[in-house]
Amino acid sequence: MLTFSPVVCRKAGKAPQGAHTRSVYKCALVKYSYAVFSVGDRKKQKKKVIHISTKMIHLNAKIISRGGEKPQSAVASAAYRSGTKIYCEYDGEIKDFSRKSHVIYSEILLPEYAPKEFADRSVLWNAVENFEKGSRAQLSREIEFSLPCELDADERLNAAKKLAGFFRDKGMVVDMNLHNPDHKNPNPHCHLMLTMRPFQKDGTFLEKKCWREYELDKNGQKIPTKKGNDYKSHKVYATDWDDKGNVEKWRALWADIETDFYKKNGYEITAEHRSFERQGIDLLPTIHMGVAVTAMERRGIQTEVGNMNREIKKINALIISSMKNVECLTEKISFLEKAKKALEQEESKDTAKNDVLLKKELDSIISILMEWQKNRSAFIQDKGIRQRMDTKTGNIKDFSSMVSFLQSHKIETLDDLQKLVEETKKKSSD
């Protein structure tokens, strides 16, 4: 079970530039931390604190190819992402997206052995189109990821360049374009178009990305298969660029880069690439809206997916609020029960009738709180406990908020509290 306590995440010093980031700064970026606990067994209670002054990253990878239901063009894709006009030698068409105004930065990063003329976008992607002859050829790999609004424009660019530099150092040409389509509702993000083939030392693309290698016996002879019609072999790849686990690694890398830039700029925020489920957090993930739905929402048109996301955010807010109160109450009650037992031992002369009444009172959470509030000062003085001033002033507020929470949810006993915990967990998983 997860519970929550508020963590305020502030930026030290001056507020970041830009209307949106200033408003976020003013809101103090209130985040949360989670604690896993067990209500039923407090003696063996273990806490696992999961700090969630956290933001989920967004990073997707896809292949641009001529295959599939909608054949794609590397030249057209590059022209669209850079907001430029490029002539495509492969199909003889001009790809004109020069009217796109949301491109705020473009750059091509060249790896070792890449021809210098590939710094020209037209030369680069026409060379790729001409080299790949197949009707279903893979032309480029695209990495698209969101940039943090909390950072200013320069820092967002530096963060994007750091990830782009990783791919360049791997031997890929990186066509990097930063977009920010709506300044009223900022959505800064970056597109990286990557080449699919490594370069040879003479600056040409490697002909084969993989090849067949035969397995040999002790005498260096090929090993025939069981059927005897071929020889045992395996594929050898020129690079690890196509490994299935790469996207997970790239997402983790971007999360680390984003976290580093948060810390560098004074934010106590951790970027996270894993889903809520994989983190063990009982919150509901929002649904990816896509380009068309996002555009409609920006124009003020409510969509089914957008409405679902808004409802999910409301449910998550209720889960966070409920769990925060449950955690406070559970910890407080555990402490109060120990204090109650200590008082009972000192009042051992009480009659059996009073013992029964006390047992009933222990089952009432509000009674526990009321008695503790009444005898708090005497107990503290008797035990010689020293309290900080902020602890003293916070006691009354804590007490009133806990009682209010209990009454609004009609919680009278520890069993009622346990039921609320289970119900909240069930709602978060449905």
Q: Burial of 389 by CB count in 10 Å (0-12 exposed, 13-18 middle, 19+ buried)?
A: exposed
Other C-beta atoms within 10 Å of 62: how many? 12
- 249 with 170: CB under 8 angstroms? no
Q: Give 321-374 pLDDT, tens digit per residue.
A: 555 566 666 666 666 667 667 766 766 655 555 554 444 444 565 665 665 555
* Cα distances (Å, whole numbers) of residue 403 to 85, 116, 190, 196, 215: 66, 71, 49, 63, 74
CA proximity to 279, closest of 5, 61, 9, 34? 34
Question: Is residue 320 scored above 50 in pLDDT?
Answer: yes
Q: For the chain, how far is it from start to end, CA to CA, in angstroms?
A: 15
CA proximity to 88, closest of 99, 97, 79? 79
Distance between CA atoms of residues 91 and 125, nearest Å: 13
Q: Give 26-45 pLDDT, tens digit per residue.
A: 232 333 333 333 333 433 44
Of residues 403 and 161, the one with the higher pLDDT is 161
pLDDT score of 10? 33
- 197 with 132: CB under 8 angstroms? no
Tokens of 93: 């068409």
Q: Region 178-186: what's the mean pLDDT?
A: 77
Largest alpha-carbon pair distance within the chain?
Answer: 101
pLDDT score of 102? 87
- Gyration radius of the chain's alpha carbons: 31
- CATH topology classification for 59-243: BirA Bifunctional Protein; domain 2 (3.30.930)
Domain boundaries, the chain: 2-55+264-307, 59-243, 318-429
pLDDT score of 268? 85
Distance between CA atoms of residues 126 and 106, nearest Å: 18
> Among 95-104, 310-319, 340-349, 379-388, which is the least confidently predicted range?
379-388
* Reported pTM: 0.60
Q: Please report the DSSP string for 220-289 in residue order.
A: SPBPBPSSSSSB-EEEEES-STT-TTHHHHHHHHHHHHHHHHHHHTT---EEE-S-HHHHT---PPPPP-
Of residues 394 and 183, the one with the higher pLDDT is 183
Of residues 193 and 102, the one with the higher pLDDT is 193
Tokens of 145: 């990821």
> Among 72-76, 194-198, 211-215, 323-327, which is the least confidently predicted range?
323-327
Helix, strand, coil % (nearest 5) of the chain?
A: 45, 20, 35
Distance between CA atoms of residues 185 and 295, nearest Å: 11
Q: Exposed e or buried b for every residue in 74-83, given b needs 16+ CB within 10 A?
A: bbbbbbbbbb
pLDDT score of 294? 73
Upper half-sphere CA count for residue 103 (Cβ side, 13 Å): 19
pLDDT score of 98? 93
Q: Give 77-97 pLDDT, tens digit per residue.
A: 999 999 999 999 999 999 999
Confidence of residue 61 (pLDDT cuts 50, 70, 90): very high
pLDDT score of 236? 86
pLDDT score of 327? 60
Q: Burial of 230 by CB count in 10 Å (0-12 exposed, 13-18 middle, 19+ buried)?
A: exposed
Question: Is residue 4 scored above 50 in pLDDT?
Answer: no
Of residues 87 and 101, the one with the higher pLDDT is 87
Question: Is residue 62 scored above 90 in pLDDT?
Answer: yes
* Average pLDDT of the chain to the nearest whole number: 74
What element of type H or E holds 141?
strand 138-146
Q: Give 207-265 pLDDT, tens digit per residue.
A: 988 888 889 889 888 888 888 888 889 888 889 999 989 999 999 999 999 999 999 99
Instruction: Write the DSSP symbol of residue 13.
Output: S
- 222 with 212: CB under 8 angstroms? no
Q: Give 266-303 pLDDT, tens digit per residue.
A: 888 888 877 655 655 556 666 766 767 777 777 778 88
Other C-beta atoms within 10 Å of 406: how many? 20
pLDDT score of 93? 95
Upper half-sphere CA count for residue 346 (Cβ side, 13 Å): 9
Q: Burial of 116 by CB count in 10 Å (0-12 exposed, 13-18 middle, 19+ buried)?
A: exposed
Distance between CA atoms of residues 193 and 165, nearest Å: 13
Tokens of 412: 């009278």
Q: Please report the DSSP string for 262-274 in residue order.
A: HHHTT---EEE-S
Q: Which residues pair with 112 in a beta bridge?
A: none
pLDDT score of 175? 97
Interstrand relation of 270-272 and 210-214 (parallel, antiparallel or unpaired)? unpaired
Q: Give 130-159 pLDDT, tens digit per residue.
A: 999 998 999 999 999 999 988 999 999 999
Distance between CA atoms of residues 211 and 213, nearest Å: 7
Question: Is residue 53 scored above 80 in pLDDT?
Answer: no
pLDDT score of 316? 66
Of residues 60 and 351, the one with the higher pLDDT is 60
pLDDT score of 371? 59
CA proximity to 139, closest of 67, 206, 200? 67
pLDDT score of 1? 34
Instruction: Write the DSSP symbol of residue 336.
Output: H
Q: Which residues pair with 199 in a beta bridge?
A: 205
